[in-house]
Amino acid sequence: MPELPEVESVRRGLAHHLAGRRITDVRTMGSRVIRHSPAGLGEFIGQRVTDVVRRGKFLWVTFGGARTLVAHLGMSGQFRLDGGDFRHTRAEFTLDDHVRLFFVDQRTFGYLAADTLIPTPDGAPGGAGTHLAAVPARVAHIARDPLDPAFDVVPFAVSIRASRSTIKQLLLDQKRVSGVGNIYADEALWHAQLNPHQRGRTLQEAEAYRLVEALRDVLGAALKAGGTSFDELYVNVNGESGYFARSLRAYGRAGLPCQRCGNLMRRDVIGGRSATYCRACQPLRRRVGQ
């Protein structure tokens, strides 16, 4: 599933091409892509785009009013501009400059939905790409991400240090911190030298803050590289792949030497999700102070 760097790369591409453009037509192919908006997306025809916004893994398009178009890419969703006959097209938008934008989704877990903007509880902008202190109702439960200027480190650190869950599971909880999935959770834990099995309540305060810094460093570096592409299921709006895969230190490296200490990397399953780490330089501590 695309994570923060991939979705932000898509958002930036969309903002470049959509800002100020008017939608002149919308077509959807099948009911699954609009399963959360069975009445369709016709209300956006004739509307002019003001912003393209992201929080965590969610995107939304604003039009200067209370109604907004929300997009979630799911496992394989893509936005693609004119340039070919795209297989697995689920929706097509035509703009007033005659450019067409396609929502393509092979595995059909992604969706498009009409929604209403509601105020953000903290009064800060809803996400990357807007100054408006509002967020779609269906996105309101999603926490801010580590690259968001309004992300508050202190309550995040307090919440994870109070939890009995493993820190790998905590990083994947989008209600605590958004935009992080398996790839960047493994990478951040490797950089912070923290074991994914370690319980949140065993973290020392300094370790919690070190984890946040590792998240910011990894996500920022991946964003500069355009995200991580392993196959054709993630590309940006121009069809270009991200190249952060060549910088991965943990994810996908089970059985290979750790690039810090040389010991073999290990892959475990935690809470139904894989975790790749080095047992030598990411040692497990069971209690604070050990």
Q: Catalytic residues, which ones?
A: 2-3, 57, 273
DSSP code per residue over 71-83:
EE-TTTEEEEESS
Coarse DSSP helix, strand, coil percentages of the chain, rounded to the nearest 5 percent: 25, 25, 50
Instruction: Tell me if 164 sits within 8 A of 195, measured CB to CB.
Output: no
Tell whether the torsion through CA atoms of 118, 120, 155 and 274 is positive or negative. Answer: positive
What tokens were used for 165? 């869950």
* 104-140 exposure pattern, b = at least 16 Cβ within 10 A, e = fewer: bbbebebbbbbbebeebeeeebbbbbbebebbbebbb
Q: What is the DSSP letter of 32?
A: G
DSSP code per residue over 98-150:
S-EEEEEESS---EEEEEEEEE-TTSS-SSBT---SEEEGGGTTSPPPTTSTT
Query: For residue 9, which amino acid is it?
Result: S
What tokens were used for 7? 């979705």
